[in-house]
Amino acid sequence: MKAIVCTRYGPPEVLKMVDMIKPSPRDNEVLIRIHATTAHIGDTKIRGSNVPFWQMVPFRIFLGIRKPKKDILGMELSGVIEAVGKDVKRFKEGDQVFALPGFGFGTYAEYRCMPEDGMIAIKPNNMTFGEAAAVPGGGITTLKCLRKANIQSGQKVLIYGASGSVGTYAVQLARSFGGNVTGVCSSSNMELVRSLGASKVIDYTKEDFTRTNEKFDVVFDAVDKISRSRGKKVLKKTGIFLSVGKDSGSGGGLKTEDIIFLKGLIEKGKIRPVIDRSYPFDQMVEAHRYVEKGHKKGNVVISVDHPEDHLGGSV
């Protein structure tokens, strides 16, 4: 199979396409033929070893000294189950799925094995493979954060960084929970954020959101760019401040039920992924370059083409 490996820490050009042995599923695993993955901001940070200096030592110890221990990056996928282990009960060959290997990585490849009890579910029936691949990372991260706020109908929610991968899901999820959403983004993304359900949008290039007269029940920093003290300036006394960096990594863990919950919301038309750009598999370097600029709207999708599909018909 074809795979893209990270040969060392460095610029996008360290990503190289290679031939590897196609994996075989263990007894409790499924083998997924990947049709789409994403160029995630997390992938670019790991590839570039782009962390604050004080985090560098634990980062390298955990992920690898000279290059990532798991040299096939990629955190989310969609595709078709090609084979199942003998103990698998939830899935069968031919099932269309989407999944979140997360820090297990491995989706920059044509195939990926996953345990059947992992973060994997049947693909929403109203989505393409590309759209479905863009859901698990940002969607589940956002869900995990916002559940801590226990948003109630009519509560006021401010989303800072409302046009990014996490932010676009945050606007929609907060709205689906009954929240009255205010999004903060740049002027070029205001219409997008409104279209996702925000009742009000603040252009941070022209207005300081902390100067608004409104007070919010929840302030969620979806891009880790504002301090807690700054966010609290617009919070009610009983309000809660959340940030994606802190609140997505503490407590609770990930559950298979979370990806199934998102599938339900998608099929009801409550949430949808925002796709900024799509690249073919062999343009992963270009995709990483674009993501690193820091201006993407929503998600960047990578399509994984299988030549054999064109010989006898595709799935």
Report pLDDT for 254. 82
pLDDT over 90 at 160, yes or no: yes
| Domains by residue range for the chain, with CATH | 2-135+273-312 (3.90.180.10), 138-247 (3.40.50.720)
State the average pLDDT over residues 196-207.
96
Per-residue confidence at 53, pLDDT binned at 50, 70, 90? confident
pLDDT over 50 at 140, yes or no: yes
Report pLDDT for 59. 82
Percent of the chain with pLDDT over 90: 86
Report pLDDT for 83. 98
Q: Which of 225, 244, 243, 230 is nearest to 294 (CA)?
A: 225
Report pLDDT for 312. 41
Question: How far is the C-alpha of 133 from the C-alpha of 84, rounded, in Å?
Answer: 21
Per-residue confidence at 311, pLDDT binned at 50, 70, 90? very low
Q: For all residues of the chain together, what is the average pLDDT?
A: 94
Per-residue confidence at 61, pLDDT binned at 50, 70, 90? confident
User: How far is CA 254 from its chain centroid?
Assistant: 13
pLDDT over 50 at 315, yes or no: no
pLDDT tens-digit readout, 97-134: 999 999 899 999 999 999 999 999 999 999 999 999 99
Report pLDDT for 253. 65
Question: How far is the C-alpha of 40 from the C-alpha of 165, rounded, in Å?
Answer: 9
Report pLDDT for 310. 53
Q: Which residues 6+ apart lie within 8 Å of 312 measured at CB?
A: none
CB distance 279 to 300 below 8 Å? yes
Report pLDDT for 314. 39
CB distance 120 to 104 below 8 Å? no
pLDDT tens-digit readout, 2-49: 999 999 999 999 999 999 999 999 999 999 999 999 999 999 999 999
State the pTM of this model.
0.92
Report pLDDT for 57. 83
Report pLDDT for 308. 67
Report pLDDT for 250. 52
Per-residue confidence at 299, pLDDT binned at 50, 70, 90? very high
CB distance 261 to 143 below 8 Å? yes
